[in-house]
Structure formats: C-alpha cells, structure tokens
Structure 1
Amino acid sequence: MTLIKKQLSGEDKAAILLFALGPEASAPLVEALDDATLTRLGRRMADLGKIDADVLNSVTEEYLKLHQSEDPLLRSTHKDVVTLFKFAIESDRADRLVNELNAPKKFTIWEKLSRLKPEMIAGYIENEHPQTIALILGNIDSSVASRVIAILPEEMRLSVVMRMSKIESVPRELVRDIEETLEKELSDMQGESGISFDGMVSVVDILKGLEKEVARPILDQLRDKDADLFTQVDRLLLIFEDLKELSDRDIQTVLKHISSDDLVKSLKGATDEVSERFFSNMSQRAAEIMKEDMAVMGPMKLADVEDAQQGVLKIIRKLDDEGAVNLGSSDDMV
C-alpha cells in the first residue's frame, strides 16, 4: 500500500530511514536497539511496500540526493530487513530475530473474537455472568461489541452496559482465566464447514502470506469445491475494519464505485476511525450531508448493516482484482 505523508507514524519514519540508508549506514543506529524494538522496526520495514518519492523526500533529503531513480515508486522488502539484521548484529541474534519476523502473525483471543459474527459472539457469552460479558465486550473492537449488545436479551443489556462503564482495573489473573477459557472454546468451535476456528485462522494467515497471484487461484478453487468454507475464509480475509488501512487515493476510488445509500448503511456499523477515513476524503459539504443522513436514519437491523458492508467489500475486492485499488502487500491482505 502506498504510504501517505500525513499517515506516517514514528515507526514508519524510522523504518523508511533505515531502508533509505541501507545496511552499512544503518548498522550503528540499530546496534544498540533492544530485540523488541528491532522486531517492530523489522516488521514495519517488511510491510512498507511501495514508497512514494515524496514520502522519502519528507523523511530524508539526503536519501534522494544519493539515490536517483526513474521509477517514482521504490519498494522495501523482507530481503532488505534480513540484510540489515545480518549486517548490523551478531549472527545468532540476527537469525533468531529473522525467525521471529518470519513467524506467522498470531491473533490474540480478542482479535479472534472481533472477527467473528456478532451473533456467534452473543451465542457464546449470553449464559455468562453480566460482569464476565462486560469484561469480554470491553476488550474487543467497540463496533463489534455494540452490535453484540444489540443482540443480547433486552433484560441483560442495561446490566452489561452499566458494568462496562464501571470497569476500571481488573485483576490480571481473572483476565487470563477468561482468555484461556475463550481460547479453549474457540479451538473446539466448528463452523458451517466443520473446520475449527483456530484452523480457520491458520488458513487465513497462510493465504495472507502468499502473493496475490498465488492466493487468488486457491480461493477461486476453494469457492468451487466448498462454498461454505470459502465464505467463512473470505469474510476473515477482509473485514470492514481493514478499510482504515487504505490510502486516500484508494478511498477516493472506492467512493466513485459505491452508492451513498450503501455507504451510509455500512458506516452505521463501522468504527469512528473507519468512518473518518471516508469522511476525510469527501468534500466538507458531502461529509456533513452523509453524517446527517446517518443520524436521521435511526437504528438499523444488524443483518442489514452486515449485508451493506459485505456489498461494499465485494466491490472493493473486484476493484483490487482489476488493479484500481491496492489492498496491500502479501503481508497485509489478499
């Protein structure tokens, strides 16, 4: 995904600088860094993908003077990270960090829950004590939590919301017990296709690690062979929350291909961060009108919101296949 100057974090800038300087010049900078920091920077370097010349220029003028290219887009890759680590630090430590870097991303239990359908989450927790429900919902994505609360029995909603509002500090042992219980239940869970949720996460993680041209034929074949399994995998590969990572250019392209009505319905169930990504790429007047439309629309059925979001995601996947938008490198989304 092309980086935008105003979206750069401190780690983005550090990763771009290390890439721009190269292994030899970067070695003194990274030698004294601890393992956790090096791993974070290494992951960020590997995920940079295409780097616009304007972004490089904003991070270091010296880099553009030393590296002239006819290609306005340069690419930092996993190979650059490995080269830097091998050059800068002792061999055993470099090998260990590279192995950690290569390891598939592990979802936390809260990330796993946030990617489940709200109906499934509600089914798991509705028989728990309201305090336990409050703790669980307080740790998952807020937009997902709000949709779960809407599904819970009416007599339970107020109790859960009140308990959530009073949560300040929770003993770590209690949180760990809840995490372990949820992990076990999710590991034992089987979806419509009979595959466990942890197995589903592994499949998604592998597909995300493949180049797009390799992953796409696998998904196409999976759709033909097992439509239910394909649907479950497809929904985990790209969720509405992932759209906050799209570039401004891609958001503007998406806006040209979806109706205002579908977008309004989709944003009713989105986080403020995702909504703002769309609003910030409209004119001020258009954003105000859309916010007004969302306000007067009133409550919507969860199923209608999900249908609208899936419709938008379907259009975005098609745009990605056509090369009109970029859902990211193989380390992000396919």
Structure 2
Amino acid sequence: MAILVTGGAGYIGSHTCLELLNSGYEIVVADNLSNSHIVSLRRLRELTGKPITFYNVDLLDRDSVEAIFLENNIDAVIHLAGYKAVGESVQMPLHYYHNNITGTLILCQVMQKFDVKRMVFSSSATVYTSVESGAISEDSPLGATNPYGRTKLMIEEMLRDLYVSDHDWSISLLRYFNPVGSHVSGRIGEDPGGIPNNLTPYITQVAVGKLKSLRVFGNDYPTPDGTGVRDYIHVVDLALGHLKAIEKAMSTTGVEAYNLGTGKGYSVLEMIRTFEQVSGRKIPYTIVDRRPGDIAVCYADPSKAIKELGWAAQRGIEEMCADAWRWQLHNPNGYEEMEQSSLV
C-alpha cells in the first residue's frame, strides 16, 4: 500500500514517514523543500533501510502533482504541506491563503481525477476560538484568530463539502496541539530556521548557545506558577496518530475531526525546569508582557481519538524534553551542517 505524504520532508512529515515505513507502508513524498530539508529523507533511509520515492514538487503545480499519481499507485494521502507560521501569516495573509488553500484544492482535484479518496489532513488547534480556557473537545466553538488558522478552518470546511458531494470520500481532520521532541535516535527533529516561533526549539537553542535567553510572555495568569499552560505532545505520538487515522480511512467513509494531544497541560516554567533537569543546562529567561490573544490554559480533550482511532499519547514531558535536547545537541545547526558537508 502506497501513501503519498505531502510535506513529508518537514518536522512532522519526516516523523510520520518514519512510522509509516516501520509499519510496512510504501511512501511517496512530495515536498518543495521551502521549509524542510532533503537531508531528513536521507536519514530516514539510514534509519529504516527502506526506499523513499521523492518528488520536489509544489502543490500549486497541477501538472507535477498529476505526474505523481500517473507514476505511482497511490492508495491514500497524508496532507501536511503548507505554510505554518502564525506571525508570518498576519504579515502575508494572501501568501498563506493562496498557498495553503489553493494547493489543497489542486491536490483534491487530482485525487478525485485518479479516484483516490482517502485522506488524512494536517489541521491545527488554532481552528478553535481563543476565548475558551481549559480542555477543548472537537465540539468546542470554531473561529480561528489568524490567517494561518483560518486557512486550516477553510480547508476543513472544503473537505466536508467534498464529502457531501461524494460519499465515497474518507477524511480525517487531525487537529494538532503543540508538537515537541524528536525521534529517539536524534537523527531527525525540528529545524525551524532562523529564530524559532515555538517554545521548545527556542529553549533548546538557548541551551546549546545559539540564543542568549528565553522570553516568557506573562507570569500573571491564573495558573499555579503564573505562566501559560499548553498541551505539548511528543512528535512521535503525533506521527503514530496519523497511522491510526490512515487505518480508519481505509475502512470507513465520512469526515471526522480528532484532537491529537495528551489531555494534560504544562506551564512554560514547568517546561523550562524539566528541560534543565534532563539537559543539565541552565536556561536563562526574562518575564515580558503577555502577548495579545494568549489565554491562560489550553489543552486537548483527546477522548474521541482514544475511542474512535484507538490512539493515545504515551510519552511524557521528560521524554519530550530529553529527545528535543538530544536532537539539538547532535545537530546544533539543524540539518544545515549535514547539508554543507554532503556537498564537499
């Protein structure tokens, strides 16, 4: 069985590909490498000893996308490709709408043409409104607060409409919370490029000496230590969620959304302290003002995924931090160092 993974060279994509290969699937990766690295795929081959068919393709290029389906017998698609930086989406909204929505539209049109109607879509917890605080279920109010989140929400609606028009489709909408960590080998991990937007890679880059200190946005929230609480999920657990979703997609029809999170919240200071314990490095930080729109507490209610997918996160905060540190320690410049050496 061959699975097309769009964005398969990226952070979540590479870990998902690894778990697919280890579970006996054949994979075809489509990635334009705009925010990912070909080195991740080389390392996947090293880790698994299995072949990977790769296309350097932009989903906006319909002819190139069609060529993938012409040249391979694709059974299902895991769609992760897309721009993903919230702040950048505010500055470049049309760029995000065009890339994320139009790319998905073309992909679905090509899938329909080739009668491939099994999809797992990489959505996000940003599709929920920011007014809620506490556990979020799939029935919580929707209403993204930035262009990135709105692209995810619009794509979800588009996919629901697609199923209404043709009940042969089977689509899982996976709403991620906060992916962290890396594969235990330390060979693949998160390489954000530039200044990280997310907490964990920022912490690891401070620990390795690339950045001087961490800014903590607010310490006056109604939480045990005053800092914001979020649901951090190990990227390997997240990847395994995609396998469960593919299994379900191959045996059912319909459109269902699933939260992928641990169901537990950890504060910013908890993450810092845990990372200091597992790494033996001190993480200097300063408290700054809250960011507009941030809420005190946000974590997943993952009970639907547990019940319907048979999936639950297994890895705790210590493992998340230890694996993130192992990746950063062995790859202080991410994949860049490996890329340069491979050119010599």
TM-score (norm 2): 0.26
Q: Tell me which protein shows more helix as a share of its residues.
A: 1
- Greater Cα radius of gyration, structure 1 or 2: 1
The higher relative CO (CA closer than 8 Å, separation ≥ 6) is in: 2
TM-score (norm 1): 0.27
